[in-house]
Amino acid sequence: MYEEERDIIDALREGKAPEQSTGYMLIGRKEEMDEFKRLLKDVKRGKAVTKFINAQFGMGKSLLLRRVEEIAIENNFVVSYIDLPKRAADLPFNKFEIVYTKIVQGLRSKSGRSFKEIIDAWLLNLKNRARDELDNPLRSEDPIIIKLMNESLEPVREHSNAFTVVLESYYLGLKTGNDEKANSAIAWLEGDPNMPANKRKEIGVKGTITKEESFNFLKALTIFIKSIGYLGLVVLIDEAENIMNLTTGNLREGAYGNIKALYDNEHGLENIIFIFAGTPQLFQEGERKGIGSYDALYERIKDVLHSPYKNIREPVIELEGLKRDELREVSKKIIEMHTLAYDWDPRSRMNPVLEDILNYYEERAGLSGGKVIPRDFIRAFVDVLDTIEQHPDITEENILGLFEEKESEWEL
């Protein structure tokens, strides 16, 4: 009955960010979310923004990105969430044509979970508008649909005629029942590099999307997204530290050069935000494989004041651990979800020892200002709830010992 709660608990147990109800679990990040909401307003009015999140493993950067994704979709943005793989060659950020392909393949919105579904929703809207304009129900609505389509695509055509030609080919494929043509059109828009020449010819183009063209296609994509009624495009890049795994300095320079181009908006993008989340090593000064090795980008995003005061508007947001009150709030929410997920009530056993548990974590985190890494605490809390739910004979006195055991196991 409470499948969503079970899914959230499963994700937390595995140390992952749940993909749903992120606002419920996102504790202690109000300032960060207020900043991202402000930036989304900037994107809405046409700006191109690049922002960075710096956080050590377990600080909740993925959960924060998932919450930004949720908020953006709710507010009528199109979103693409990308996890950079550990094997950097699988998604080399120095080759932006491949990055573009990944962005398009991951598009989600209110109206669909793929670029194809987004386009289909747009075409359905055009069809409904055409019916409203049709003065004679016996006449074909196709001329009106094509007129409306051309009007929507006019600003896109200025930046990529091929983009609009393939969208039109997709519509014609659907209209004539030519599924192969329609599928080829979607595959080309998603950057398929292996499409045979005869299929490209059928949809009205000659080549594939090259590195030189990829930024123009990204601009065409954002203009298309805006022209069909969305507010803009949000691109979330998680595990950005894996860029450091590119095998040579030249490849890494190419990757950081692409990020610099986004940060400086060298290609005149509009209505788009890129958010890169990575670990401190990526941002560390002097790190020979990180951003610090590429002065042209590092000089733009470094903390120039080195101030102890947090400034959320700097290019790089640094996530801190959770304080005692925030840990207490997290605890109560996990207890509430575990109660629903497994149909039991742990409150009578957990509430009497909760402050002792918080004391234990606060003491352990004393060297870092008493702030706790969220993932460590949450995983242990879920694990202990699992254990005492399955073993009703465990006493209150032994519950704190379970937390100590879990922490010892993970340190080995």
| CATH code for position 235 | 3.40.50
Judge whether 12 lies within some domain.
no
164: left (phi over 0), alpha (psi -120 to 50) or beta: alpha
Query: Cα-atom radius of gyration of the chain, to the nearest Å?
Result: 25
Judge whether 358 lies within some domain.
yes
Judge whether 7 lies within some domain.
no
Long-range contacts of 2-9 (CB under 8 A, 24+ apart): 2/340, 2/341, 5/337, 5/338, 5/340, 5/341, 6/341, 6/342, 8/337, 8/341, 9/334, 9/337, 9/338, 9/341, 9/382
Domain encompassing residue 345:
324-411
Same domain, 135 and 199: yes
Same domain, 309 and 340: no
Judge whether 368 lies within some domain.
yes
Same domain, 311 and 330: no
Alpha-carbon distance of 102 to 353, in angstroms, equals 47
Residue 273 in contact with residue 40, Cβ under 8 Å? yes
Same domain, 305 and 171: no
Q: What is the pLDDT of residue 25?
A: 83
Total domains in the chain come to 3
Alpha-carbon distance of 193 to 84, in angstroms, equals 20
Same domain, 119 and 105: no
Same domain, 168 and 314: no
Same domain, 90 and 76: yes
Low-confidence ranges of the chain (pLDDT < 50): 412
Same domain, 156 and 237: no
Residues listed for the chain: 412
Same domain, 104 and 239: yes
Judge whether 389 lies within some domain.
yes
Domain stops at, among 301, 318, 335 = 318
Q: What is the pLDDT of residue 411?
A: 55
Give the type of residue at 333: K
Residue where the block lists tokens 């194809």: 116
Same domain, 345 and 269: no
Same domain, 338 and 377: yes
Residue 163 in contact with residue 224, Cβ under 8 Å? yes
Judge whether 4 lies within some domain.
no
Burial class (CB in 10 A: 0-12, 13-18, 19+), 206: exposed
* SS3 call for 183: helix
Residue where the block lists tokens 């809207």: 125
DSSP strands (E only) in 2-94: 48-54, 78-83
Judge whether 22 lies within some domain.
no
Alpha-carbon distance of 77 to 296, in angstroms, equals 31
Judge whether 1 lies within some domain.
no
CA nearest to 261, candidates 300, 235, 293, 208: 300
Residue where the block lists tokens 């005692």: 324
